Amino acid sequence: MKTCKHCNKTNFELSEGCKNPTGISPAVGDWVCNNSLHAGTGNTNASKEVTKSSQIQIRCLQSDKALIVRNLKVGETLGSFMIQLAIAEAKKRNFQER
């Protein structure tokens, strides 16, 4: 007798016994257990640990921006550079007496 390796279902004629049946799969020709599918995973290449949803807009002199851009490291973006500096400064100020 066959047993589902995901939910230990043994009755393959009916969905009974399966912890999470989705229905009959034409490809498999039998009931399919939800635990064996990759449902709901989405595009794993597009997944991010943290979604950045807030924006900061800065107005500055063209000469100041040019100075900063000239001194970026290879592959570093202006946004990541500015955020790193702002976070570092905010952490310093957070620990100082007010």
Number of domains in the chain: 2
Q: Are residues 34 and 67 in the same domain?
A: no
pTM, 2 dp: 0.47
Does pLDDT of 83 surpass 80? Answer: yes
What average pLDDT does this structure show over 69-78?
Answer: 94
What angle separates helix 62-70 from helix 78-95, to the nearest 10 degrees?
100
Q: Which domain holds residue 21?
A: 1-38
Digit-coded pLDDT (tens) for 9-37: 666 555 444 555 555 555 555 655 655 44
12 found inside a domain: yes
Mean pLDDT of the chain: 75
